Structures are given as structure tokens and as C-alpha cells.
């Protein structure tokens, strides 16, 4: 087990609140294509993505966050968007000062980004590094 001084080497887990765990699991497994994870005794369901874990945990009121909770780095954002759209994922479009999407994509400094929500209202993102 890592100590506090070993945080650089620690496994990171992103905690996402969900109202309906079964509905959320269908989204993460069918729509996003994540391999089925593992149920934990405390009710969480955990997926492994790269070196990170995503933990869905039941919360009757769901999320209250209005920011990006999780972002997946991809090599080709346009192809990734098309793949997820074919699986039923709906991408957001924005037109705010300093944040405008074209074809669901916004260029932000050194990356492109596109946002969507899971079935539980968590804001997720795809991003592609430009450099």
C-alpha cells in the first residue's frame, strides 16, 4: 500500500454518482464499450481504463456537478465521436464567449474536446492532444 509520500505512484479512482446503477452500467458497457468491471461489497461498480479506475456509486439524488467529471484522451476525436454517436451517445454543442463547438468539437489551447453526458447526468469528455 502506498503512503502519502507515494501519491505519484498511486492508482487513481474517479468517483461518479449514479441514480440507477444498472442503467449507468449499460451506458458505460454498451455505449462507451468499457469491459465489464467488478461489483464491490459497498455497492460500487468499478471499471479499469488505462491506469485509472472509474467507480460508479449509487446516490439517490445523483450528481450535482456542472463541470466535466471525466475525460477520455483519444487519438482521433472525430472518429471517436462518430463511433460513440453510432452507439447512441449524444454530444453537446456550445456557443459561449470563449467556448464554441463546431461539429461537437472545441479547440482549447493544445487540445480538442467534445462533451456528452452519461445517463445519470455526469458530464464526460473526449479530448485529443494537438501537440
Q: For 77-98, what is each residue's pLDDT tens digit? A: 999 999 999 999 999 999 999 8
Looking at the predicted structure, is the pLDDT value of residue 1 above 60? no
Residue 4: what pLDDT?
63
Looking at the predicted structure, is the pLDDT value of residue 16 above 90? yes
**What percentage of the chain exceeds 90 in pLDDT?**
84
pTM summary value:
0.91
User: How far is residue 1 from each of residues 9, 14, 38, 40, 77, measured CA to CA in Å?
Assistant: 10, 19, 20, 19, 36
pLDDT grade for 131, boundaries at 50, 70 and 90: confident
Give the max Cα distance, the chain. 46
Cα-flanking dihedrals φ and ψ of residue 103, to 5°? 60, 35
Amino acid at each position: 500500500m502506498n503512503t502519502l509520500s507515494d501519491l505519484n505512484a498511486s492508482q487513481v479512482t474517479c468517483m461518479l454518482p449514479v441514480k440507477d446503477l444498472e442503467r449507468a452500467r449499460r451506458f458505460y458497457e454498451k455505449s462507451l464499450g468499457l469491459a465489464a468491471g467488478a461489483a464491490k461489497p459497498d455497492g460500487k461498480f468499478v471499471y479499469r481504463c488505462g491506469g485509472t479506475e472509474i467507480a460508479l456509486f449509487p446516490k439517490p439524488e445523483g450528481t450535482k456537478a456542472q463541470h466535466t467529471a471525466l475525460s477520455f484522451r483519444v487519438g482521433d476525436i472525430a472518429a471517436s465521436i462518430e463511433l460513440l454517436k453510432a452507439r447512441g451517445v449524444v454530444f453537446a454543442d456550445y456557443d459561449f464567449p470563449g467556448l464554441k463547438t463546431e461539429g461537437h468539437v472545441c479547440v482549447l489551447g493544445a487540445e480538442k474536446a467534445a462533451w456528452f453526458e452519461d445517463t445519470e447526468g455526469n458530464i464526460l469528455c473526449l479530448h485529443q492532444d494537438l501537440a
